[in-house]
Amino acid sequence: MNAEPPRTNRNQADRAKQGIFVFSGLGQRDLFASNRIEQTDAGWRLLIRNPWYTGTHLSTVSSLGIAVNGHNVSEGHIFLSLRGQMVPAAYAKNLHEIWWGMGEVAEVFLTDPAIPALLKDTNEIGVEIDMRTTFSYGFPDDTLPYRLTGEVERG
Amino acid sequence: MKLGLTLYSFGADLHAGKMDVFDAIRKAAELGCDGVEIIAEQHIPGWPNPSLDDLTQIRELVESLGMEIFCFSCYFGKNIRSDRPQTFEELVHHAKRMIALTAYLGAPIMRPAFNANPVGQLIDFVNAVLPSLEKYGVIWGVELHAPHPPSYYQEALDAVDSPWFRLVPDFSCWQGPNAPGQIQSNPLSTLEPLLKYTVHCHAKAHMFTADGEEPNTPYKELLGMLKDYGFKGSVSGEYEGWFIKYAPSEQPAKTLFNLLEKYGR
């Protein structure tokens, strides 16, 4: 048996940084459930998975930002739909009753009138989600700042 | 001791939408598990308001495959709402509901993830639901996980002093310094005084060598201590390497379960 406990050169802050890095990688890996951005009656639609490692209350999404080819879509033009229930992204933080399951695909609808002129055949999408953790993992402000990207084709 | 897997080990495919809870249960049975651990927020369809029919299907599938549900894990978060933290009464209400669901699934142990900081907060919480634990025959297994020191819950265990409040040590506390996220490893001897409280263990793994060992976790020694003690509880292999990179879940789950059998049978 070990007589002396092995020590590391990490502290809690390092552990939190490593956690943000690892959780962000997981979120990035599975983020896009489709490689297309498609026009629908409700707006331009993207399909994204819950990036967190478990299901979570929608209220933990403190903010959701989307950029299309470098253009930041204003919050008022972003809507999120889970199981057909559509809510303005800005209201997500109030909706603790709505659940976003592990790996569950959410529809994101963008109503920004600037989007058609921005779209190319292949498009760079930025997804920024500030997700509050329901208990402490040691992240600053108990928030995991997802800064994710991906390429989607115009459908 | 009984050996199995937490379905958390299949997280790579569950997170990617390639597998559901029923697939994962069947895979665990194919690997020869005595039982499984199920996590509410990851695995139960329709969470947080599951149908009794779904819960019944899960329970019956596990039974039909000759396994048991070792442990029902859940999260007792305080920061669910953005406008205020959960009140004590809300936490107690939630805990009582989880206790009843644990009993419905036929699991003997509920492992809530809860920030007990300071640990004294846990004592009032557990005492408030102790009658429910006794009524439903469910043990609250508090999880001891790195970076907390092995003695972290001793005060709460002493204060509550009940067979319905016991310990779920996670092997992370004894992982070596190169394990992901490790801050302070602990001597193996620090497990010994905890064995009398231990009802279930999480056998943490992040990676494997070519010969199927977990390079940062002393499985042989930890499982050997449990065997020598005559531990009659359950051990769930908990593969967490899926956070770091994707691999089809079945292979690491199989490697981990083989490791448990190698040193735990």
Per the domain annotation, does A117 fall within a domain? Answer: no
- Summarize pLDDT for A85-136 with one digit per residue, the tens: 999 999 999 999 999 999 999 999 999 999 999 999 999 999 999 999 999 9
In angstroms, what CA-CA distances link B204 with A38, B36, B257, B259? 42, 14, 11, 11
CB contact B193 to A (< 8 Å): no
A94 interaction partners in chain B (CB closer than 8 Å): 82-83
Domain region containing B230: 2-264
CB contact B43 to A (< 8 Å): yes
Other CB atoms within 10 Å distance of the CB of residue B246: 16
CATH number for the domain that contains residue B36: 3.20.20.150
Tokens of B58: 């899960």
Chain pair A-B, CB pairs under 8 angstroms: 115
Please indicate whether residue A9 or residue A83 has the higher confidence score (pLDDT).
A83
- B75–A49: do the CB atoms touch at under 8 Å? no
Residue ranges of chain B whose pLDDT lies below 50? none
Q: If we measure between CA atoms, which residue out of B151, B156, B78 comes closest to residue B119? A: B156
Cα of B79 to nearest chain A Cα, Å: 4
- The whole-number pLDDT of residue A7 equals 65
Q: If we measure between CA atoms, which residue out of B196, B194, B145 comes closest to residue B173? A: B145
- The whole-number pLDDT of residue A3 equals 54
Per the domain annotation, does A6 fall within a domain? Answer: no
Tell which of B38, B114, B172, B183 to mutate to test the A interface (max A CBs under 10 Å): B183
- Total domains in the fold of chain B: 1
Strand residues in chain B grouped as ranges (E): 2-6, 35-39, 68-75, 109-113, 139-144, 165-169, 200-205, 234-239
pLDDT at residue A1 tops 60:
no
Interface pTM, i.e. ipTM: 0.96
Do residues B69 and B36 touch, judged by C-beta distance below 8 A? yes
Domain region containing A24: 12-112+123-154
Do residues B36 and B105 touch, judged by C-beta distance below 8 A? no
Per the domain annotation, does A26 fall within a domain? Answer: yes
- The whole-number pLDDT of residue A2 equals 44
Do residues B15 and B242 touch, judged by C-beta distance below 8 A? yes
Q: How far is Cα B90 from Cα B80, in angstroms, rounded to an integer?
A: 11
pLDDT at residue A9 tops 80:
no
- B243–A6: do the CB atoms touch at under 8 Å? no
pLDDT at residue A80 tops 70:
yes
- A105–B41: do the CB atoms touch at under 8 Å? no
CB contact A105 to B (< 8 Å): yes
Average pLDDT, rounded, for chain A: 95
Tokens of A69: 């080819």
pLDDT grade, residue A4 (50/70/90)?
Answer: low
Other CB atoms within 10 Å distance of the CB of residue B186: 20
Per the domain annotation, does A40 fall within a domain? Answer: yes
pLDDT at residue A43 tops 90:
yes
- B17–A55: do the CB atoms touch at under 8 Å? no
- Total domains in the fold of chain A: 1
Other CB atoms within 10 Å distance of the CB of residue B56: 12
Tell which of A58, A96, A102 to mutate to test the B interface (max B CBs under 10 Å): A102
Cα of B72 to nearest chain A Cα, Å: 15
- The whole-number pLDDT of residue A8 equals 75
Bridge partners, A87 (sequence order): A80
